[in-house]
Amino acid sequence: MAVFNLKKREIECKIVFYGPGRCGKTTNLEYIFRAYKKQVEGEMVSINTEGDRTLFFDFLPMELGKIKGCDVRVQLFTVPGQVHYSSTRKLVLRGVDGIVFVADSLDVRREKNMQSLKDLQQNLKDYGLNIFKIPLVLQYNKRDLANTGMPIMSLEKMEKDLNRQLKAASLPASAVTGEGIGKTLQESLKLTLQSLQKQFNWAQK
């Protein structure tokens, strides 16, 4: 939930990385943590269970500096992707300003991607939010696996599966190599701040 302090010209927003279990949400945040050290405000907190699965959430606070005369801070979260953590997932989503949906490019995760997107839509709806209107970026992760001969889906197929109706911004990435991760974050921030500008008109004219 964005927090504005117009007197001090501060703005804080929340971006949530959503997606099926094991798609690479935590790896996204870990990469951002390493690659954007300067902008990271403090530590990354990960609450995991057995096998490095996220149990509650990952949390990474960032300080982006001045944007249009405002000090912008952003809190990055990941949700636990595994199906049976649905109530935690919903709780973490609360107050979200922007979403990165991380989809798994592996063939075998095709249905899980779709189910997770549907779950996202339902949870947003429960909070009175609309998946078509919320700032949303789709990330097709694990593209590096293409070089290893592992069966992965083509980008076209993923677009068709996940983005035919949504028509959200989408991009390929690999959280392991870091390719596309910075771009994903930038795109999400851009959309989120634009949307907050529309709603709250915070930028200096």
Between the CA of residue 54 and those of 25, 90, 94, 111, what are the distances in Å? 9, 14, 17, 20
- Selected from 11, 15, 18, 26, the binder of ligand GTP by CB under 6 A is 26
Q: CA-to-CA distance for 14 and 153, rounded, in angstroms?
A: 30
Residues 33-62 that bind ligand GTP (CB under 6 A): 52-54
28 versus 75: smaller Cβ distance to other proteins: 75
Encoded tokens for 30: 């870990």
Task: Kindly provide the b/e burial profile for residues 145-156, where b requires at least 16 CB atoms within 10 angstroms of the residue's own CB.
Answer: beeeeeebbeee
25 versus 112: smaller Cβ distance to Mg ion: 25
Residues 135-174 that bind ligand GTP (CB under 6 A): 141-142, 144-145, 174
- Selected from 2, 11, 26, 174, the binder of Mg ion by CB under 5 A is 26
**28 near Mg ion, rule: CB under 5 A:** no
| DSSP alpha helix (H) spans, the chain | 25-35, 86-93, 110-126, 155-163, 181-200
11 versus 174: smaller Cβ distance to ligand GTP: 174
Helix (H, G, I), strand (E, B) or coil at 71: strand
14 versus 22: smaller Cβ distance to ligand GTP: 22
Q: CA-to-CA distance for 184 and 179, rounded, in angstroms?
A: 10
Site mask for ligand GTP (CB under 6 A), range 67-96, x = bound: -----------x-xxx--------------
Interacting residues with other proteins (CB under 8 A): 1, 3, 21-22, 45, 47, 49-53, 55-56, 59, 75, 85, 87-88, 90-91, 94-95, 106, 108-109, 126-128, 145, 148-151
